[in-house]
Structure 1
């Protein structure tokens, strides 16, 4: 493939799957500026790695998730934020995608509580729940994160149990 066609192919695939990049950046950033920087860094790393992408080994979205999550987690590890102000709670506007310009609808209280819960998870569990909520199968989640399907199932079960406990507690407090 010529250099120009290679770049066009990359740009088309990235445009088609750009929502993944913005979702990952939204989950692993604490401000709009951090999100923009992370989107840029993910895009650069995707381009650098694109020559090694083999569509026979993985779907583009699986490959993209793997790189985006690795970049986000690596950047998170490099930054030395204090635990108290480490993350801004995930909001619907963090999940906006480029192009459409329209914001997502305002979340209700339960959705807001879910976003807050996700924002408190450690980086691996945050990635896990993002992929689970994207309706990715356990096999694909395992492939993206480099863990076993059994580990995926166990961790998702624990996250759900913890979420149920927090949501039940929140409803009891609000009642």
Structure 2
């Protein structure tokens, strides 16, 4: 495939699957500017790997794998910088949402709790919320279905406890 055809095909893939990229970036980044940086990094890595795509796998699985790996690396690289900021900054982002509907508040809290999880658990919850089957999640993350089920169960329990603690 010549470069122009490759470029057009790539742009079509990105346009068709941009929801995956946005969901991953939202799960791993609080702030809009960080999200934009992560989205850009994911797209660069997808472009660098595009010629190596093996159509034996679903395109969405391939995109998820790259997006999650880039997000984990991005998260680790930026965690030192983010730990230097105060926790108040994160809390203020959600306190200001008091004028929104209750559902929007709950969704914001859910993403806050997901953001606090470790990298693997973030990915698991992202896929769980997208209603992926345990088999699909296991294939994307290259872990066993049993491990997926166990970890999701534990994370759901932790998140439920956090919601209950806030609503007391």
TM-score by length of 2: 0.83
Provide the residue aligned with 1:113 in structure 2: 109
Q: Which position in structure 2 is the counterpart of 1:77? A: 76
Contact 2:25 2:71 in 1 (8 A): yes
Paired position in structure 1 for 2:65: 66
| Residues 88 and 123 of structure 1, relative CA distance in 2, 3 Å threshold | farther
Confirm or deny that 1:29 pairs with 2:29.
yes
| Structure 1 spans left out of the alignment, 5+ residues | 92-104
Q: Check conservation: 2:29, 2:115, Cα contact below 8 A.
A: no
Is 1:162 equivalent to 2:163 in the alignment? no
Aligned to 1:20: 20
Q: Is the 8 A contact 1:88 1:119 kept in 2?
A: no
Pair 1:127-2:123 in alignment? yes
Runs of 4+ with >4 A deviation: 83-89
Aligned residues: 158
Considering only aligned residues, what root-mean-square deviation do their CA atoms show, in Å?
2.4
- Aligned partners of 2:84 and 2:151: how far apart in 1? 22
Q: CA deviation at 1:20?
A: 1.1
1:124 is displaced (CA, Å) by 1.2
Shift of 1:83: 7.2
Give how far 1:76 is off: 1.5
Choose 23-32 or 44-53, whichever is displaced more: 23-32
**Structure 2 gaps, min length 5:** 94-99
The 3 A distance-change label for structure 1 pair 17 and 111 is same
Offset from partner CA, 1:54-105 (integer Å, 9 cap, x none): 122x11111101001101111121222317658947x8xxxxxxxxxxxxx9
Structure-2 change in CA distance of 1:39 and 1:88 (3 Å)? farther
Q: Which moved more, 1:77-86 or 1:12-21?
A: 77-86
Q: What CA distance in whole angstroms lies between the structure 2 residues aligned with 1:26 and 1:108?
A: 15
Question: Cα distance 1:156–1:35, how it changes in 2: closer, same or farther (>3 A)?
Answer: same
Higher helix share: 2
